[in-house]
Amino acid sequence: MALTYVVAPQWQGSGSSRAMQLVDGAESIRGDLPSASTRTIDIPLEAGDHQGTGVHRYSSLLLVRDRARHALATESSPHVTIGGDCGVELAAIEHVIAADPVVVWLDAHPDLHTPESSPSGAFTGMVLRTLLGDGPPELVPEHPLRADRVILAGVRAVDPAEDDYIRQCGIRTIAVTEFSADTLVDAIGATGASSVYLHIDLDVLDPADLTGLGSPVPFGLRATALLEAIRAVVARYSLVGAGITEFAPASPVQAVDDMPTILRLIGALNYSPTSTAGSTAGSTEPE
Protein backbone atom coordinates (compact mmCIF):
# COMPACT_ATOMS: atom_id res chain seq x y z
CA MET A 1 0.00 0.00 0.00
CA ALA A 2 1.55 3.26 -1.17
CA LEU A 3 0.92 6.21 1.13
CA THR A 4 1.29 9.88 0.34
CA TYR A 5 2.18 12.42 3.03
CA VAL A 6 0.70 15.88 3.45
CA VAL A 7 2.61 18.02 5.95
CA ALA A 8 0.63 20.87 7.50
CA PRO A 9 2.67 22.69 10.17
CA GLN A 10 -0.35 24.60 11.45
CA TRP A 11 -0.11 26.06 14.95
CA GLN A 12 -3.08 28.41 14.96
CA GLY A 13 -5.54 25.85 16.34
CA SER A 14 -3.50 25.13 19.44
CA GLY A 15 -4.15 26.55 22.88
CA SER A 16 -0.78 25.43 24.24
CA SER A 17 1.97 27.83 25.25
CA ARG A 18 4.18 25.65 23.02
CA ALA A 19 2.00 26.16 19.93
CA MET A 20 4.81 27.49 17.74
CA GLN A 21 6.85 24.36 18.44
CA LEU A 22 4.26 22.42 16.44
CA VAL A 23 5.90 23.95 13.37
CA ASP A 24 9.27 22.53 14.44
CA GLY A 25 7.66 19.16 15.11
CA ALA A 26 6.06 18.93 11.69
CA GLU A 27 9.30 19.95 10.01
CA SER A 28 11.23 17.33 12.01
CA ILE A 29 8.90 14.61 10.77
CA ARG A 30 8.94 15.92 7.20
CA GLY A 31 12.72 15.59 7.12
CA ASP A 32 12.41 11.82 7.52
CA LEU A 33 9.66 11.27 4.94
CA PRO A 34 10.24 10.19 1.32
CA SER A 35 10.34 13.48 -0.59
CA ALA A 36 8.80 12.07 -3.78
CA SER A 37 5.54 11.27 -1.99
CA THR A 38 5.41 14.25 0.39
CA ARG A 39 3.63 17.57 -0.08
CA THR A 40 3.72 20.55 2.28
CA ILE A 41 0.86 22.98 2.92
CA ASP A 42 1.82 26.65 3.16
CA ILE A 43 0.74 28.01 6.53
CA PRO A 44 -0.09 31.73 6.80
CA LEU A 45 2.36 33.81 8.81
CA GLU A 46 -0.38 35.71 10.61
CA ALA A 47 -2.22 34.31 13.61
CA GLY A 48 -5.61 35.29 12.20
CA ASP A 49 -8.66 36.54 14.10
CA HIS A 50 -11.86 35.01 15.43
CA GLN A 51 -14.26 36.90 13.11
CA GLY A 52 -16.99 36.66 15.72
CA THR A 53 -17.03 32.85 15.72
CA GLY A 54 -15.66 32.24 19.21
CA VAL A 55 -12.77 30.29 17.64
CA HIS A 56 -9.36 31.84 18.12
CA ARG A 57 -7.38 32.50 14.91
CA TYR A 58 -10.38 31.37 12.86
CA SER A 59 -9.43 33.16 9.63
CA SER A 60 -6.08 31.35 9.41
CA LEU A 61 -7.68 27.97 10.21
CA LEU A 62 -10.14 28.49 7.37
CA LEU A 63 -7.33 29.37 4.97
CA VAL A 64 -5.30 26.27 5.89
CA ARG A 65 -8.39 24.07 5.54
CA ASP A 66 -8.93 25.39 2.00
CA ARG A 67 -5.28 24.92 1.02
CA ALA A 68 -5.33 21.36 2.36
CA ARG A 69 -8.52 20.64 0.42
CA HIS A 70 -6.79 21.79 -2.74
CA ALA A 71 -3.72 19.65 -2.07
CA LEU A 72 -5.83 16.55 -1.43
CA ALA A 73 -8.19 17.03 -4.36
CA THR A 74 -5.89 15.19 -6.77
CA GLU A 75 -4.82 12.46 -4.33
CA SER A 76 -6.17 8.97 -5.00
CA SER A 77 -3.86 6.95 -2.74
CA PRO A 78 -4.31 6.87 1.05
CA HIS A 79 -2.72 9.88 2.69
CA VAL A 80 -1.10 10.57 6.03
CA THR A 81 -1.56 14.14 7.23
CA ILE A 82 1.25 15.37 9.46
CA GLY A 83 0.44 18.23 11.84
CA GLY A 84 0.59 20.72 13.34
CA ASP A 85 -2.39 20.83 15.66
CA CYS A 86 -5.43 18.58 15.34
CA GLY A 87 -7.22 21.14 13.15
CA VAL A 88 -5.29 19.80 10.16
CA GLU A 89 -7.69 16.83 10.23
CA LEU A 90 -10.59 18.93 8.92
CA ALA A 91 -9.77 18.64 5.23
CA ALA A 92 -8.08 15.25 5.65
CA ILE A 93 -11.15 13.51 7.07
CA GLU A 94 -13.59 15.47 4.91
CA HIS A 95 -11.64 14.11 1.91
CA VAL A 96 -12.49 10.49 2.80
CA ILE A 97 -16.00 10.81 4.30
CA ALA A 98 -17.61 9.51 1.10
CA ALA A 99 -15.90 6.15 1.71
CA ASP A 100 -17.89 5.93 4.99
CA PRO A 101 -14.91 4.88 7.12
CA VAL A 102 -14.86 4.49 10.87
CA VAL A 103 -12.71 7.27 12.33
CA VAL A 104 -10.61 6.03 15.24
CA TRP A 105 -9.81 9.10 17.34
CA LEU A 106 -6.64 8.14 19.25
CA ASP A 107 -6.19 11.14 21.50
CA ALA A 108 -5.92 12.05 25.17
CA HIS A 109 -8.74 14.54 24.52
CA PRO A 110 -12.02 13.89 22.67
CA ASP A 111 -11.95 17.32 20.96
CA LEU A 112 -15.75 17.54 21.23
CA HIS A 113 -16.21 21.13 22.39
CA THR A 114 -18.19 23.80 20.60
CA PRO A 115 -17.22 27.49 20.59
CA GLU A 116 -19.83 27.96 23.32
CA SER A 117 -18.56 25.17 25.62
CA SER A 118 -14.81 25.54 25.03
CA PRO A 119 -12.95 26.98 28.02
CA SER A 120 -10.08 28.16 25.81
CA GLY A 121 -11.47 29.03 22.38
CA ALA A 122 -8.71 26.91 20.82
CA PHE A 123 -9.95 24.98 17.81
CA THR A 124 -7.88 21.90 18.55
CA GLY A 125 -10.49 21.07 21.21
CA MET A 126 -13.39 21.41 18.75
CA VAL A 127 -12.17 19.48 15.72
CA LEU A 128 -14.09 16.23 16.07
CA ARG A 129 -17.31 18.01 17.09
CA THR A 130 -17.00 20.14 13.94
CA LEU A 131 -16.47 17.05 11.78
CA LEU A 132 -19.64 15.64 13.35
CA GLY A 133 -21.54 18.69 12.09
CA ASP A 134 -21.64 20.99 15.12
CA GLY A 135 -19.22 23.89 14.74
CA PRO A 136 -18.67 27.14 12.83
CA PRO A 137 -20.71 26.71 9.60
CA GLU A 138 -17.82 27.43 7.25
CA LEU A 139 -15.73 24.67 8.86
CA VAL A 140 -18.41 21.96 9.05
CA PRO A 141 -18.08 19.41 6.20
CA GLU A 142 -20.86 19.33 3.61
CA HIS A 143 -21.48 15.71 4.61
CA PRO A 144 -20.53 15.40 8.31
CA LEU A 145 -19.36 12.26 10.06
CA ARG A 146 -21.92 10.10 11.80
CA ALA A 147 -21.43 9.42 15.50
CA ASP A 148 -21.75 5.67 14.90
CA ARG A 149 -18.66 5.90 12.70
CA VAL A 150 -16.44 7.28 15.50
CA ILE A 151 -14.41 5.40 18.09
CA LEU A 152 -12.65 7.31 20.87
CA ALA A 153 -9.55 5.45 22.06
CA GLY A 154 -7.11 6.40 24.80
CA VAL A 155 -9.18 9.44 25.81
CA ARG A 156 -8.64 10.40 29.45
CA ALA A 157 -9.04 14.19 29.72
CA VAL A 158 -12.75 14.80 29.16
CA ASP A 159 -14.65 17.92 30.18
CA PRO A 160 -18.25 17.59 31.45
CA ALA A 161 -19.79 19.06 28.29
CA GLU A 162 -17.86 16.57 26.17
CA ASP A 163 -18.84 13.67 28.41
CA ASP A 164 -22.50 14.64 28.08
CA TYR A 165 -22.18 14.70 24.29
CA ILE A 166 -20.44 11.30 24.19
CA ARG A 167 -23.26 9.77 26.25
CA GLN A 168 -25.99 11.50 24.29
CA CYS A 169 -24.62 10.29 20.94
CA GLY A 170 -23.55 6.85 22.13
CA ILE A 171 -20.02 7.24 20.78
CA ARG A 172 -17.94 4.10 21.27
CA THR A 173 -15.00 4.54 23.63
CA ILE A 174 -12.02 2.38 24.54
CA ALA A 175 -10.30 3.38 27.77
CA VAL A 176 -6.56 3.12 28.21
CA THR A 177 -7.04 0.20 30.61
CA GLU A 178 -9.13 -1.67 28.00
CA PHE A 179 -7.03 -0.84 24.96
CA SER A 180 -5.41 -3.59 22.90
CA ALA A 181 -5.15 -4.65 19.28
CA ASP A 182 -8.04 -7.06 19.80
CA THR A 183 -10.38 -4.56 21.47
CA LEU A 184 -9.74 -1.98 18.76
CA VAL A 185 -10.25 -4.45 15.90
CA ASP A 186 -13.43 -5.72 17.54
CA ALA A 187 -14.77 -2.19 18.05
CA ILE A 188 -14.17 -1.37 14.39
CA GLY A 189 -15.88 -4.60 13.36
CA ALA A 190 -18.93 -3.71 15.47
CA THR A 191 -19.48 -0.55 13.38
CA GLY A 192 -19.91 -2.56 10.18
CA ALA A 193 -17.38 -0.36 8.37
CA SER A 194 -14.91 -1.86 5.94
CA SER A 195 -12.46 1.06 5.94
CA VAL A 196 -10.69 3.10 8.62
CA TYR A 197 -9.18 6.52 9.20
CA LEU A 198 -6.72 6.66 12.10
CA HIS A 199 -6.31 9.99 13.87
CA ILE A 200 -3.23 9.82 16.10
CA ASP A 201 -2.73 12.77 18.39
CA LEU A 202 0.62 11.94 19.94
CA ASP A 203 -0.63 12.92 23.37
CA VAL A 204 -2.55 9.64 23.36
CA LEU A 205 0.80 8.15 24.35
CA ASP A 206 2.08 8.10 27.89
CA PRO A 207 4.53 10.99 28.40
CA ALA A 208 7.13 8.40 29.44
CA ASP A 209 7.17 7.20 25.81
CA LEU A 210 7.15 10.60 24.06
CA THR A 211 8.26 13.87 25.62
CA GLY A 212 7.62 16.38 22.80
CA LEU A 213 4.01 17.12 23.74
CA GLY A 214 2.42 20.51 24.24
CA SER A 215 -0.39 19.09 26.38
CA PRO A 216 0.87 15.86 27.98
CA VAL A 217 -1.63 13.78 29.96
CA PRO A 218 -0.36 11.05 32.29
CA PHE A 219 -1.37 7.39 32.19
CA GLY A 220 -1.60 7.12 28.41
CA LEU A 221 -1.11 4.30 25.94
CA ARG A 222 2.29 2.69 25.74
CA ALA A 223 3.92 2.98 22.32
CA THR A 224 4.25 -0.78 21.94
CA ALA A 225 0.50 -1.27 22.46
CA LEU A 226 -0.35 1.47 19.94
CA LEU A 227 2.04 0.04 17.34
CA GLU A 228 0.56 -3.44 17.72
CA ALA A 229 -2.97 -2.07 17.37
CA ILE A 230 -2.16 -0.03 14.24
CA ARG A 231 -0.61 -3.05 12.57
CA ALA A 232 -3.63 -5.19 13.43
CA VAL A 233 -6.04 -2.60 12.03
CA VAL A 234 -4.26 -2.02 8.72
CA ALA A 235 -3.79 -5.77 8.24
CA ARG A 236 -7.54 -6.30 8.47
CA TYR A 237 -9.19 -3.13 7.18
CA SER A 238 -8.68 -0.76 4.27
CA LEU A 239 -6.83 2.34 5.48
CA VAL A 240 -8.25 5.39 3.71
CA GLY A 241 -6.03 7.81 5.59
CA ALA A 242 -4.38 8.76 8.86
CA GLY A 243 -3.20 11.80 10.76
CA ILE A 244 -0.31 12.29 13.14
CA THR A 245 -0.58 15.52 15.11
CA GLU A 246 0.64 17.59 18.06
CA PHE A 247 4.37 16.90 18.00
CA ALA A 248 5.85 19.91 19.83
CA PRO A 249 9.49 19.20 20.75
CA ALA A 250 11.00 21.71 23.14
CA SER A 251 14.43 21.47 21.49
CA PRO A 252 16.22 19.81 18.55
CA VAL A 253 17.64 17.26 20.98
CA GLN A 254 14.17 16.33 22.18
CA ALA A 255 13.01 15.99 18.58
CA VAL A 256 15.83 13.57 17.82
CA ASP A 257 15.00 11.54 20.91
CA ASP A 258 11.30 11.24 19.98
CA MET A 259 11.64 10.64 16.23
CA PRO A 260 12.27 6.84 16.43
CA THR A 261 8.87 6.37 18.09
CA ILE A 262 7.12 8.57 15.52
CA LEU A 263 8.80 6.80 12.62
CA ARG A 264 7.72 3.45 14.02
CA LEU A 265 4.13 4.72 14.04
CA ILE A 266 4.46 5.78 10.40
CA GLY A 267 6.02 2.43 9.59
CA ALA A 268 3.06 0.67 11.23
CA LEU A 269 0.68 2.58 8.94
CA ASN A 270 2.60 1.06 6.01
CA TYR A 271 2.39 -2.43 7.52
CA SER A 272 1.15 -5.46 5.65
CA PRO A 273 1.34 -9.07 6.86
CA THR A 274 3.70 -9.92 3.99
CA SER A 275 6.10 -7.05 4.73
CA THR A 276 9.49 -7.79 6.18
CA ALA A 277 10.67 -5.71 9.11
CA GLY A 278 13.32 -4.13 6.93
CA SER A 279 10.97 -3.06 4.16
CA THR A 280 8.49 -1.55 6.61
CA ALA A 281 11.13 0.58 8.28
CA GLY A 282 12.63 1.47 4.92
CA SER A 283 9.40 3.10 3.77
CA THR A 284 10.13 6.07 6.02
CA GLU A 285 13.90 6.32 5.59
CA PRO A 286 15.24 9.69 4.43
CA GLU A 287 16.16 9.83 0.78
- For residue 69, pLDDT over 80 is answered with yes
Helix axes 252-269, 223-236, angle to 10 degrees: 30
Average pLDDT of the chain to the nearest whole number: 93
Residue 62: the pLDDT is 97
Distance, CA of 130 to CA of 87 (rounded, Å):
10
Residue 287: the pLDDT is 35
What single letter denotes the amino acid at residue 27? E
Percentage of residues of the chain with pLDDT beyond 90: 90
Residue bearing the bigger pLDDT, 182 or 46: 182
- For residue 74, pLDDT over 90 is answered with no
CA of residue 241 relative to chain centroid, distance: 10
In sequence order, the β-bridge partners of residue 8 are 83
Report pLDDT digits (tens) over 104-123.
999 999 999 999 999 999 99
118-147 burial, b at 16+ Cβ within 10 Å, e below that, comes to beebbbbbbbbbbbbebbbeebbbeebbee
Residue 270: the pLDDT is 92
Residue 287 lies in a domain: no
User: Average pLDDT, stretch 138-157?
Assistant: 97
Residue 76: the pLDDT is 78
User: Average pLDDT, stretch 136-161?
Assistant: 97
**DSSP secondary structure letter of residue 48:** -
User: Average pLDDT, stretch 226-242?
Assistant: 97
Report pLDDT digits (tens) over 195-213.
999 999 999 999 999 999 9
Report pLDDT digits (tens) over 79-109.
999 999 999 999 999 999 999 999 999 999 9
- For residue 75, pLDDT over 90 is answered with no
Taking every pair of Cα atoms in the chain, the longest distance, rounded to a whole number of angstroms, is 53
Residue 95 lies in a domain: yes
- For residue 284, pLDDT over 50 is answered with no
Residue 77: the pLDDT is 82
User: Average pLDDT, stretch 52-72?
Assistant: 95
Q: How many domains does the chain have?
A: 1
Q: Which domain holds residue 23?
A: 4-282
- How many CB atoms lie under 10 A from the CB of residue 238? 13
Residue 140: the pLDDT is 97
Per-residue pLDDT band at 274 (split at 50, 70, 90): low
Per-residue pLDDT band at 282 (split at 50, 70, 90): very low
Residue 2: the pLDDT is 84
Distance, CA of 206 to CA of 187 (rounded, Å):
22
User: Average pLDDT, stretch 147-166?
Assistant: 98
User: Average pLDDT, stretch 145-167?
Assistant: 98
Residue 165, domain CATH: 3.40.800.10
- For residue 286, pLDDT over 60 is answered with no
Cα–Cα distances (Å) from 135 to 37, 141, 206, in that order, read 32, 10, 30
